[in-house]
Amino acid sequence: MEASNSLRVLLLFMLAFLAATTFLSLPLTPCSNSMSRAILTATSLDPYLISCGSGDTAQEEAPLSKDKHSNNNRTARRGGPIVTDQLWCSKPDVPQDAPSPPSRCCPPMSASPPINFTFPDPKEPIRMRRPVHEVGPEYMAKYERVVAMMKALPKSDPRSFYQQGHIHCAYCSGAYRQVGLPTLPVQVHFSWLFFPFHRAYLYYLERIARKLLNDPEFTLPFWSWDIPEGMQIPAEFVNKTSPLYDAFRDPKHQPPNLADLDFNWKVEKNLTGEQQIQCNMWVMYKQIVSGATLPSLFYGQPYRAGDSALPGPGTVELAPHANMHAWIGNGHYPNGEDMGAYYAAGRDPIFYIYHGNIDRIWEMWRDIRLAANGNDRSKTVFSDHSWLDSSFLFYDEEARLVRVTVRDMLDTEKLGYRYSKVAMPWATARPPRTPGVNSKRGVLKSVRFPVSLDAAISVEVMRPDALRSRIAKDDDAPEEVLVVEGIEVQDADFVKLDVYVNAVEYHKVRPGGRELAGSFVSLRHPATEDRVKTTMRVALNELLEDLGVKEETSVTVTIVPVKGKVKIGGLKIVHMSE
Ligand SMILES: [Cu+2]
């Protein structure tokens, strides 16, 4: 009784406080961190409802104000790591036509500031994450059980499936804002944060699963959709009575249909099984082996405090990652819910085993680069502190809020796990050149950038210093990188662009064929980014060699708009080495 009375008093106090701040616009400076936390924890209100003045440090001080002109800029930092702060979490920007939009997706407010990440005890054995098609039904039943347990937890528990699913929404739909910069979201897609963020996400989900199952050996199985044995949605996810089932998936893509790693949004290729597998192998080879020979081509572009979101994704994030999100989600819904929509992807239990494979691809890319670079680890990571010290917040298995940095996520063995060795048939699937494709038909029409892509365009692009590339020894030849600049997606809609080199007759190239340098694939972005502006980069050295054009001073680049309204700012080829 006493407890409920004091709760009532607290609520009354809160209402008076809110009325004062909202209607009287009383200045509330300074607003101490502990007071904000206490209020927010007790009331479960979102920080944006409370307008505080500025604090004096960059972190853990000033709650978010929706007022774009507020004094909060005093705490803004420009340059350096991107820092996530619970006091800077707000309403997500979810597409208006979402079938069941979340009103909020910020995690429950922690009563105390986050603790810093610590590695698990190195004496603990390293656990193996194994593929779904090898672990067997008994093991998959454990994943099923733990998803059921998480779904049964109260929604307010940060370890519940409801809250775990919201983590993706919070970091991808404009809920988290940059500290001191309320107009800038913390966005973990289309930049160098993509791989480390998703690794940390799975790491904590796995720890929570272990605790709930009371099974310290449990590891998340991964769905190896990159090899023929794993190319169908695993059977466990298809059973309508299972907690692993999600009604928001494309009915056309259920087993025995094979995954299409080059998926063209709603348009089925209708390939034979053999052709689809071939296409998938080529896509994997190009995105991981030949297209991403430098760290920024694989991870994505630098993204620092004060930067606009979406500077540029790595090859794998575009394809197969984004294609597969859309392939699993239901294309009948405007945003491809669940998996095809940033705000909703975490609601599908398949998300976590799907992303396990993305995390494993990071390991495989690193091994391939180490082998190519004489084990030089510096060629597989960035040394920039803005990357290493960027941080995310997760609740651990004891429901403690933990601050995790990118630096903490670079070595899976230090995190206590590794991936079991699965065959990589795509690692040698170098696609052959397509015979009889006209590379330069007639005189190319001149294109004036920026250009809206209503139809395919072909442009002659000069190569930088072609002679230097030709005489350089293979080992120290700089990488030639094709840059598609100023990609603007109107209405932040779904987009797929295919980018071909020396294939004006691109329709003759088989899906995933050699002349296709890469694809730009973007899911629908939240409304804050009403105009997605980004870049695409892909390595060309091997492609130019295979096309036999190493001696040429220029190449023809053909851009085919497969889906969505897009403008591009320009095309260039640059030399890069990192
Ligand atoms: Cu994803």
3 state SS for 342-361: CCCHHHCCHHHHHHHHHHHH
The confidence score (pLDDT) of residue 8 equals: 62
Distance CA 183, CA 177 (A): 7
Residue type, 231: M
Q: Which residue has the higher pLDDT, 54 or 291?
A: 291
- Whole-number Å distance, alpha carbon 280 to ligand 1 midpoint, is 18
Hey, which residues does 392 pair with through a beta bridge? 404
- Whole-number Å distance, alpha carbon 549 to ligand 1 midpoint, is 36
- Whole-number Å distance, alpha carbon 469 to ligand 1 midpoint, is 36
Distance CA 509, CA 346 (A): 35
- Whole-number Å distance, alpha carbon 406 to ligand 1 midpoint, is 17
Task: Provide CATH code, domain 121-428.
Answer: 1.10.1280.10
Q: What is the average pLDDT value for the chain, to the nearest integer?
A: 87
- Whole-number Å distance, alpha carbon 355 to ligand 1 midpoint, is 6
Distance CA 309, CA 306 (A): 9
Mean pLDDT of 497-524: 95
CA-based R_g, the chain, Å: 24
The confidence score (pLDDT) of residue 53 equals: 33
Alpha helices by DSSP H, 130-234: 132-135, 137-152, 161-172, 194-213
Q: Which residue has the higher pLDDT, 262 or 77?
A: 262
Mean pLDDT of 259-281: 93
- Whole-number Å distance, alpha carbon 115 to ligand 1 midpoint, is 27
Using CA atoms, how far residue 31 sits from 19, 26, 321, 447, 505, in Å, is 16, 12, 42, 55, 63
Mean pLDDT of 16-28: 40
| Domain ranges, ordered by start, for the chain | 121-428, 451-576
- Whole-number Å distance, alpha carbon 453 to ligand 1 midpoint, is 27
Distance CA 243, CA 236 (A): 9
Residue 62 has pLDDT above 50, yes or no: no
The confidence score (pLDDT) of residue 537 equals: 98
Q: Which residue has the higher pLDDT, 494 or 73?
A: 494
- Whole-number Å distance, alpha carbon 575 to ligand 1 midpoint, is 30
CATH architecture of 451-576: Sandwich (2.60)
- Whole-number Å distance, alpha carbon 553 to ligand 1 midpoint, is 38
Residue 31 has pLDDT above 50, yes or no: no
121-428 and 451-576, same CATH topology: no
Grouping H, G, I as helix, E, B as strand and the rest as coil, residue 484 is strand
- Whole-number Å distance, alpha carbon 346 to ligand 1 midpoint, is 9
Among 379, 573, 572, which residue's Cα sits nearest to residue 475? 379
- Whole-number Å distance, alpha carbon 173 to ligand 1 midpoint, is 13
- Whole-number Å distance, alpha carbon 325 to ligand 1 midpoint, is 6
Mean pLDDT of 203-231: 97
pLDDT tens digits, one per residue of 74-115: 456 789 999 999 999 988 888 878 888 888 899 999 999 999
- Whole-number Å distance, alpha carbon 321 to ligand 1 midpoint, is 6
Distance CA 53, CA 87 (A): 13
